[in-house]
Structure 1
Amino acid sequence: MLEYRVTARRIDSHGSEAEAKSARLVLDTDLAGRDDAFNPAEMLLASLAACLLKGAERVAPMLRFDLRGIEVSLHGVRQDSPPRMVRIDYAIVVDTDETDQRLDLLHRNLRKYGTISNTLAEAIELVGTIRRKD
C-alpha cells in the first residue's frame, strides 16, 4: 500500500499553508475568502484534476495514445445543510488526432485507475466527458 503525508498549519486568520515533500501550498482558510489561494472545495476539485492529468501521463504510453495536450475543467455543487459536495462535473479536452473510440478508451482508463476519481465516485455523483480539442 502507498501512503501519503501532508501537514498543514494556520498562518493567521487569513490563511494557512500545507506542506508535502518539499512543496508548499497556501490555503484559503479566511472566512471572507481570498483570491490568491484555493479554498477547501477548490482543492478537492484541483485534486481530481491532478488525478486525471497524472492518469493521462501514466496510461498514454501504455495505450500508445498520441497525447499532445490535455485540459480539465471542473464544476462542483455544494449543498448547505449538511455542508458537502453532492456533484462534480468535469470536461476533459484532449489535443490529439486519435479516433473517438480511442478517446473513450483513454477516458475509461482515467476513471478506472484514478485514486481520487475512484474515491470521489464512491461518495458523490461524478459525471465527466472527454472530447478532442477543436
Structure 2
Amino acid sequence: MLEYNVTARRIDHHGSEAGTKGARIVLDTDMQGRDDAFNPAELLLASLAACMLKGTERVLPMLDFNLRGMDISLHARRQDSPPKIIRIDYEITVDTDESDQRLDLLHRNLQKYGTIYNTLTAATELVGTIRRKE
C-alpha cells in the first residue's frame, strides 16, 4: 500500500503553502482570492489532471501508444449548500496518429487505473471525453 504525506502552513491572510518532498506550492487561501495561486477547487482539478497525465506516462509503453502531446481541460460545478463539487467535466486532447479505438483504449486505462480519478468518481459525477488534436 502506498502512502502520501503533505504539510501545509498559513503564511498570512493572503495565502498559505503546501509542501511534499522537495516541492512547494502556493495556496490561494485569501478570502478575496489570488490570481497567482490555485484555490482548493482548482487544486482538486489540477490533481485530477496530474493523475491522468501521470497515468498516460505509465500506460504509453504498455500500449505501445504513439503520443506527441496531450492537453486536458477541466470544469467543475459547485453547489452552495452544502458546499461541494457536484460535477467535473473534462476533455482530453491527444496529439497522435493512433486510431479512434486506440484513443478509447487509452481513455479506458486512465479511467480504470487512476487513483485520483477513482477517488473522485466515487464522490461526484465525473464526465469526460477524449479526442484527437486537429
Structure 2-normalised TM-score?
A: 0.99
Q: How far has the Cα of 1:8 moved from its partner?
A: 0.1
Partner of 1:44 in structure 2? 44
Structure 1 runs of 4+ with >4 Å offset? none
The C-alpha deviation readout for 1:5-42, integer Å capped at 9, x for no partner, is: 00000000000000000000000000000000000000
Query: Structure 1 CA distance, aligned partners of 2:132 and 2:71?
Result: 10
Q: For 2:122, what is the secondary structure of its paired residue?
A: helix
Query: Structure 2 CA distance, aligned partners of 1:20 and 1:71?
Result: 25
**Count of aligned pairs:** 134
In the alignment, structure 1 segments of 5+ residues that lack a partner are none
Amino acid at match of 1:83: P
Percentage identity across aligned positions?
A: 77
In the alignment, structure 2 segments of 5+ residues that lack a partner are none
Is residue 29 of structure 1 aligned with residue 37 of structure 2?
no
Q: How do 1:9-88 residues align onto structure 2 when only pairs under 5 Å count?
A: 9-88=9-88
Amino acid at match of 1:27: L
Q: Please tell me the root mean square deviation across aligned C-alpha atoms, in Å.
A: 0.3
Partner of 1:105 in structure 2? 105
The C-alpha deviation readout for 1:33-92, integer Å capped at 9, x for no partner, is: 000000000000000000000000000110000011101000000000000000000000
